[in-house]
């Protein structure tokens, strides 16, 4: 585990938050050597944190044993250079089991994903995350999406829950997020972290920044770290006092991120499988995705390669400008 508190390490990240894919060998089993290579490359490219075995890492498809091995491998590669946050999900009992496996493997924190299948009320959700946070010493970031959607009052209670340090939004309801940020700001004196957790979060980054949410997950960093780093630097330089950063952000949104999101929308599950195809295009054979996901079509992979090259051309022409 890294020595500084997780919240302090994440509050002002030095680079993108890296959500590595999980590597599989030709026989379909987890390939820990390739996974280590992937994680190491991301850290050396400038990742500020590693979120292992989360959505992009196919948490849903991993056995507890595979999960524990992958988290341990990420911790080993990181060697304390950046924090490692592990996914945890399903019902309360299984989420607690995964949390304990992550703690034993040396993780610094947990990304608590929605409970499996059921649509629970606010009281039940709060009990679920409180029990998860109490089960280990690890700090917890709660992930809002799908069947885990919170009222502003419920997020105030989450922010008051010992061990819960942040809230990641994968829903995209800006009105709700503004009310959540406002309610917590008024009711909870301690700092609370917020993350834009939409797929390809860069596309909505400017909107989230407007309500004070500047942290975001970057799936693009998995396969095009140069593009993701350039965006991250420009995004953090771009504020009301600096138009230069936002000019770069908009150029990358218009020429790369928006077309990428449109391509991603052409296939179910492409938020994972298209990213994994991008990693393979970059030269690392991380295998395909496990069912029930499916790999992209050859045409979609070709278009992804062309789009990634277009993004790099934008970096080159921007540097020359």
Catalytic sites, residue numbers: 143, 168
DSSP summary character for residue 107: -
Cα–Cα dist 149/181, whole Å: 14
With vertex at residue 195, the alpha carbon angle to CA 189 and CA 198, rounded to the nearest 5 degrees, is 150
Q: How far is CA 228 from the centre of its chain?
A: 13
Distances (CA, A) of 26 to 30, 34, 74, 79, 285: 9, 12, 21, 28, 10
Residue 157 · residue 126 · CB < 8 Å? yes
Q: Which helix (H) or strand (E) holds 167?
A: strand 164-169
């Amino acid at each position: 585990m890294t020595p500084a508190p997780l919240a302090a390490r994440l509050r002002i990240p030095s680079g993108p938050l890296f959500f590595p894919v999980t590597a599989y060998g030709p026989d379909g089993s987890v390939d820990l050597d390739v996974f280590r290579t992937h994680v190491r490359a991301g850290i050396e490219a400038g990742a500020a944190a590693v979120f292992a075995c989360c959505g992009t890492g196919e948490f849903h498809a991993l056995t507890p044993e595979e999960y524990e091995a992958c988290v341990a491998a990420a911790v080993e590669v990181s060697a304390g250079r950046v924090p490692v946050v592990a996914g945890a999900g399903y019902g309360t009992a299984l989420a607690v089991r995964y949390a304990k496996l992550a703690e034993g493997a040396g993780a610094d924190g947990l990304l608590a994903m929605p409970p499996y299948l059921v649509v629970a009320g606010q009281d039940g959700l709060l009990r679920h995350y409180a029990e998860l946070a109490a089960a280990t010493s690890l700090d917890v970031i709660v992930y809002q999406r799908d069947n885990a959607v919170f009222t502003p009052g419920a997020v105030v209670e989450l922010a008051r829950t010992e061990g819960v340090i942040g809230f990641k939004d994968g829903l995209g309801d800006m009105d709700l997020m503004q009310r959540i940020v406002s309610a917590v700001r008024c009711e909870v004196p301690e700092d609370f972290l917020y993350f834009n957790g939409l797929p390809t979060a860069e596309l909505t980054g400017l909107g989230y920044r407007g309500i004070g949410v500047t942290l975001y997950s970057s799936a693009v960093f998995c396969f095009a770290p140069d593009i993701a780093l350039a965006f991250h630097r420009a995004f953090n330089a771009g504020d009301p006092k600096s138009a230069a950063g936002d000019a770069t952000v908009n150029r990358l949104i218009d020429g790369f991120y928006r077309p990428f999101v449109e391509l991603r929308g052409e296939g179910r599950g492409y938020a994972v499988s298209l990213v994994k195809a991008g990693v393979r295009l970059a030269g690392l054979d991380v295998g395909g995705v496990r069912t029930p996901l499916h790999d992209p079509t050859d045409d979609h992979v070709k278009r992804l390669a062309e789009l990634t090259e277009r993004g790099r051309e934008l970096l080159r022409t921007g540097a020359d400008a």
